[in-house]
Amino acid sequence: ETGVTQTPRHLVMGMTNKKSLKCEQHLGHNAMYWYKQSAKKPLELMFVYSLEERVENNSVPSRFSPECPNSSHLFLHLHTLQPEDSALYLCASSQEGGRWGQETQYFGPGTRLLVL
Amino acid sequence: KQEVTQIPAALSVPEGENLVLNCSFTDSAIYNLQWFRQDPGKGLTSLLLIQSSQREQTSGRLNASLDKSSGRSTLYIAASQPGDSATYLCAVNSRGSNYKLTFGKGTLLTVNP
């Protein structure tokens, strides 16, 4: 596999469930990102990890819990979600996570989440 | 707070036509501006990245311009093809935001055969 992969591609869960989204990048990058894309809204950054350290938490509710065990893998743990959390969750990576935002980010195909 | 607006929200053109997509942003203190393409149900593909010091970037049939002082960028697509049908997103990286890209809502382009 090449690029950025995400699993599962589709997920339906109840509000009391616990699930995890997985992202893996095969590009040798040092930074990884979680984004949320809701219908009719712009793409929103959720979390950023650089060298496995969280460097940005964009005011995301605690029912979303990220984990970055190494520079190639990123997880988003979900618990007690709300219907309004239904969205496309996109993972991205970049070479360095450079401070001055000079880099292109490479995106995975996303996980389509539906919360019932 | 940076805000990015894309006009039009949707555009439908016949194959072969040249077209322009517009992007405007409220805070001109940016590091760079990027144009992405998103196919239905899929992730984003980076098309062009323009640094704040640059005026334009070209890749094949695509040309993106940047006028930082007026807070505007355009994406020009020459000789459009049905395969160009997708949503085109504009994103800016603003000073003080580090990793954070601020995205517009996108323009949905349909190129009819």
Between positions 4 and 33 of B, the ones with CB within 8 A of A are 4, 31-32
What string of H, E and C letters represents the secondary structure of chain B? Answer: CCCEEEECCEEEEECCCCEEEEEEECCCCEEEEEEEEECCCCCEEEEEEEECCCCEEEECCEEEEEECCCCEEEEEECCCCHHHCEEEEEEEEECCCCCCEEECCCEEEEEEC
- Evaluated on CA atoms A50, A54, A55, A61, the torsion sign reads positive
**What's the confidence (pLDDT) of residue A2?**
66
A58 Cβ under 8 Å from any chain B Cβ: yes
Q: Which of A56, A88, A107, A111 is best to mutate for the B interface (most B CBs within 10 A)?
A: A107
Query: Any idea what the Cα angle at residue A61 is, between residues A36 and A85, rounded to 5°?
Result: 45
Token reading at B12: 């439908």
Residues of A in contact with B52 (CB under 8 A): none
Q: What is the pLDDT of residues A6-23, one digit of tens each?
A: 999 999 999 888 999 999
Verify whether the Cβ–Cβ distance A56 to B99 is below 8 Å. yes
Lowest mean pLDDT among A48-57, B4-13, B72-81: A48-57
List, for residues B12-40, the tens digit of each pLDDT value.
999 999 999 999 999 998 989 999 999 98
Chain B interface includes A99 (CB < 8 A):
yes
How many Cα atoms are found within 13 Å in the side-chain-facing hemisphere of A28? 0
- Tell me the chain A residues in contact with residue B106 when contact means C-beta distances shorter than 8 Å: 42
Q: How far is CA B53 from each of CA B29, B56, B69, rounded to the nearest angstrom?
A: 11, 9, 11
